[in-house]
């Protein structure tokens, strides 16, 4: 039996920094990782997808050069080169983390799958480990829906689509949220004919309908087709093609769509099925670990961080979980996730930056709500750049004058929305931005028109 001060299961964006900060405190730490160091973000998520999206953006900008008076020859996408660039960047991140971990004498790395055999005992292969503090950061994997026939055809997930070396002639995407929309637009710009099927009646179903509608229009303008309020009911392979049956919820009959590849972007499942949660007595719901606002499970000394709790599935939230847990280990005044403001971005073009409540959520809460919204065509910088597809929207509590939430659908929307988040964190009145002086011409200058539209 190997005894440690702490065991960290998973080297994602909570587990990895936690291991090193605990080592800084002189703790002996066991890090267990069954795949690559860095977790989903570095290996299959943020790093590789945004790298490939950058290539897709260049292809798109080159094609529309004539709109700005710049004429180039035909645009050719070298997908193997795109993938090689992505792999190189991922490898650089991964090797950096491996080198850093190997340099720490009080960190022991175990390669393999972890399994609880008791509340504070972990098996990894033939090794038995124990520690007073155990931190679970195992993340999630793609959820494959039981679509009839899907098990008899080759299908793609977010993990496998980035290894393609040929651009699919026809790509059918199941799911119109973050994964589906980002890959759908990426491969449309690489040259695929793309159809996206979504069960809900709008894309990005959790977003306000007006925001979703503007984004859908922008994607349709690039040639992406949508089947909303619909579901895939069967997949068959005939004559080297996938024959996909799509049933609409509103309307008559079914549609049969041909595709060369199908991408499943229908959600995530927790990586806990082989973790032995029952042996440890750790409470969970369908594999999602139950944790309180301090990320503590029902078992004393065992914590769950990141996506595995079923909370907001973002890298920056996992890192925030690490910050909370690490702080609480060494400070009497405790921090929690309660009241945490959650920003996130959808890296389409235009990019959707979102923070806080949607208008729909704010009104459902019973508050007296003010709303401001403007199209990007009100922003001089957007006109000059030829990027007027999008909008800015803010939701305000009329009684407190505090911003409840905002959506910026714009180039750099994820960057812009964080300025509004700063007001939210300061509990400041929205009128501060109404009174501000903005540099002309910038995208941020749009906040003046946005605040002028509040009513």
Domain membership of residue 336 (yes or no) is no
Cα 108 to Cα 30, 93, 136, 178: the distances in Å are 5, 20, 16, 36
Give buried/exposed letters for 271-297 (b at 16+ CB in 10 A, else e). Answer: bbeebbbeebebebeeebbebeebbbb
Q: If you average pLDDT over residues 149-174, what whole number do you get? A: 97
User: Which residue among 245, 265, 285 closes a domain?
Assistant: 265
The per-residue pLDDT for range 279-297, each reduced to its tens digit, is: 999 999 999 999 999 999 9
Res 228 pLDDT > 80: yes
Answer with the residue of higher pLDDT: 313 or 210.
210
Domain membership of residue 337 (yes or no) is no
User: Which residue among 211, 236, 265 closes a domain?
Assistant: 265
Do both 393 and 429 map to the same domain? yes
Closest CA to 135 of 345, 346, 305: 305
Res 250 pLDDT > 90: no
Question: Quick one: pLDDT at residue 179?
Answer: 97
- Model confidence at 101, in pLDDT bands (50, 70, 90)? very high
Question: Quick one: pLDDT at residue 314?
Answer: 93
- Model confidence at 265, in pLDDT bands (50, 70, 90)? very high
Query: Cβ atoms within 10 A of the Cβ of 206, count?
Result: 12
Domain hosting residue 150, numbered range: 145-265
Rounded Cα distance, 220 and 215, in Å: 9
Q: Exposed (0-12), middle (13-18) or buried (19+): which is 151, by Cβ within 10 Å?
A: exposed
Whether 440 is a known active-site residue: answer: yes
Answer with the residue of higher pLDDT: 136 or 73.
136
Give how far the C-alpha of residue 78 lies from the chain's centroid of Cα atoms, to the nearest Å: 26
List 256, 327, 368, 440, catalytic entry: 440
Q: If you average pLDDT over residues 53-61, what whole number do you get? A: 98
Do both 41 and 102 map to the same domain? yes
Peptide bond into 350 cis (omega under 30): yes
Total of domains in the chain: 3
The per-residue pLDDT for range 381-426, each reduced to its tens digit, is: 999 999 999 999 999 999 999 999 999 999 999 999 999 999 999 9
Q: What is the CATH number of the domain that holds 256?
A: 3.50.50.60
Tell me phi and psi for residue 332, to 5 degrees. -75, -40
Q: If you average pLDDT over residues 35-54, what whole number do you get? A: 93
Do both 276 and 249 map to the same domain? no
- Model confidence at 67, in pLDDT bands (50, 70, 90)? very high
Q: How much is the mean pLDDT over the chain?
A: 96
Do both 312 and 421 map to the same domain? no
Query: Cβ atoms within 10 A of the Cβ of 182, count?
Result: 22
Res 40 pLDDT > 90: no
The per-residue pLDDT for range 181-204, each reduced to its tens digit, is: 999 999 999 999 999 999 999 999
The per-residue pLDDT for range 305-342, each reduced to its tens digit, is: 999 999 889 999 999 999 999 999 999 999 999 999 99
Domain membership of residue 338 (yes or no) is no
Do both 7 and 137 map to the same domain? yes
Work out whether strand 121-124 and strand 127-136 pair parallel, antiparallel, or are unpaired: antiparallel
Do both 182 and 293 map to the same domain? no
Do both 137 and 166 map to the same domain? no
Question: Quick one: pLDDT at residue 253?
Answer: 75
pTM of the model as a whole = 0.96
Do both 36 and 100 map to the same domain? yes
Res 73 pLDDT > 90: no
Q: If you average pLDDT over residues 161-178, what whole number do you get? A: 98
Answer with the residue of higher pLDDT: 289 or 253.
289
Q: If you average pLDDT over residues 45-70, what whole number do you get? A: 96
Question: Quick one: pLDDT at residue 340?
Answer: 95
Q: If you average pLDDT over residues 65-83, what whole number do you get? A: 94
Q: If you average pLDDT over residues 16-32, what whole number do you get? A: 97
Res 252 pLDDT > 80: no
Which long-range CB contacts under 8 A does 276-284 form with residues at least 24 apart?
276/115, 276/116, 276/117, 276/123, 277/116, 279/115, 279/116, 279/117, 279/118, 280/116, 280/118, 280/119, 280/120, 281/119, 282/116
Q: What is the CATH number of the domain that holds 442?
A: 3.30.390.30
Do both 242 and 276 map to the same domain? no
User: Which residue among 265, 286, 311 closes a domain?
Assistant: 265
Rounded Cα distance, 139 and 375, in Å: 37
Question: Quick one: pLDDT at residue 388?
Answer: 97
Rounded Cα distance, 435 and 439, in Å: 13
Do both 304 and 374 map to the same domain? no
Do both 9 and 134 map to the same domain? yes
- Model confidence at 72, in pLDDT bands (50, 70, 90)? confident
119 and 280 Cβ atoms separated by less than 8 Å? yes
Question: Quick one: pLDDT at residue 328?
Answer: 98
Do both 66 and 79 map to the same domain? yes
Domain membership of residue 110 (yes or no) is yes
- Model confidence at 352, in pLDDT bands (50, 70, 90)? very high
Query: What's the chain look like in SS3?
Result: CEEEEEEEECCCCCHHHHHHHHHHCCCCEEEEECCCCCHHHHHCCHHHHHHHHHHHHHHHHHHCHHHHCCCCCCCCCCHHHHHHHHHHHHHHHHHHHHHHHHCCCCEEEEECCEEEEECCEEEECCEEEEEEEEEECCCEEECCCCCCCHHHCCCECCCCHHHCCCCCCEEEEECCCHHHHHHHHHHHHHCCEEEEEECCCCCCCCCCHHHHHHHHHHHHHCCCEEEECEEEEEEEEECCEEEEEEEECCCCCEEEEEECEEEECCCEEECCCCCCHHHHCCCEECCEECCCCCCECCCCCEEECHHHHCCCCCHHHHHHHHHHHHHHHHCCCCCCCCCCCCEEEECCCCEEEEEECCHHHHHHCCCCEEEEEEEHHHCHHHHHHCCCCCEEEEEEECCCCEEEEEEEEECCHHHHHHHHHHHHHCCCECHHHHHCCCCCCCHHHHHHHHHHCCC
């Amino acid at each position: 039996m190997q005894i440690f001060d702490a065991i960290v299961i998973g080297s994602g964006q909570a587990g990895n920094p936690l291991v090193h900060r605990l080592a800084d405190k002189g703790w002996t730490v066991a890090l267990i990782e069954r795949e690559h160091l860095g977790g989903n973000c570095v290996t299959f998520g943020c790093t590789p997808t945004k790298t490939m999206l950058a290539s897709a953006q260049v292809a798109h900008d080159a094609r529309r050069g004539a709109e700005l008076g710049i004429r180039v020859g035909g645009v050719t996408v070298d997908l193997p080169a795109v993938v090689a660039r992505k792999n190189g960047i991922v490898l650089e991140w991964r090797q950096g983390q491996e080198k850093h971990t190997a340099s720490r004498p009080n960190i022991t790395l175990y390669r393999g799958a972890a399994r609880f055999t008791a509340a504070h005992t972990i098996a990894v292969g033939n090794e038995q480990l124990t520690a007073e503090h155990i931190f679970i950061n195992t993340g999630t994997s793609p959820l494959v829906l039981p679509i009839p026939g899907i098990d008899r055809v080759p299908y793609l997930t977010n993990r496998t689509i980035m290894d393609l070396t040929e651009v699919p002639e026809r790509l059918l995407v199941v799911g119109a949220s973050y994964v589906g929309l980002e890959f759908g637009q990426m491969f449309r710009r690489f040259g695929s004919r793309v159809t996206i099927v979504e069960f809900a009646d709008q894309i990005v179903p959790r977003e306000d309908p007006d925001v979703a509608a503007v984004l859908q229009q922008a994607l349709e303008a690039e040639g992406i087709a949508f089947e909303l309020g619909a579901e895939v009911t069967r997949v068959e392979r005939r004559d080297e093609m996938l024959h996909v049956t799509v049933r609409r919820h509103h309307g008559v009959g079914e549609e049969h769509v041909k595709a060369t590849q199908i991408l499943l972007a229908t959600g995530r499942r927790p990586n806990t099925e082989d973790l032995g949660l029952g042996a440890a007595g750790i409470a969970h719901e369908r594999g999602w670990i139950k944790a309180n606002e301090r990320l503590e499970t029902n078992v004393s000394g065992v914590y769950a961080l990141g996506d595995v709790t079923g909370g907001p599935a973002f890298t920056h939230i996992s890192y925030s979980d690490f910050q909370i847990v690490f702080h609480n280990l060494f400070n009497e005044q405790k921090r929690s996730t309660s009241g945490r403001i959650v920003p996130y971005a959808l890296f389409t073009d235009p990019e959707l930056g979102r923070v806080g409540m949607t208008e729909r959520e704010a009104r459902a809460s019973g508050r007296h709500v003010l709303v401001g919204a403007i199209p990007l065509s009100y922003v001089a910088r957007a006109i000059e750049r030829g990027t007027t597809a999008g909008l800015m929207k803010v939701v305000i509590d009329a009684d407190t004058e505090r911003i409840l939430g905002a959506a910026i659908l714009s180039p750099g929307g994820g960057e812009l929305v964080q300025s509004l988040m700063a007001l939210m964190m300061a509990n400041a009145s929205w009128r501060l931005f109404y009174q501000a002086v903005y540099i002309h011409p910038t995208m941020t200058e749009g906040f003046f028109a946005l605040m002028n539209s509040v009513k």
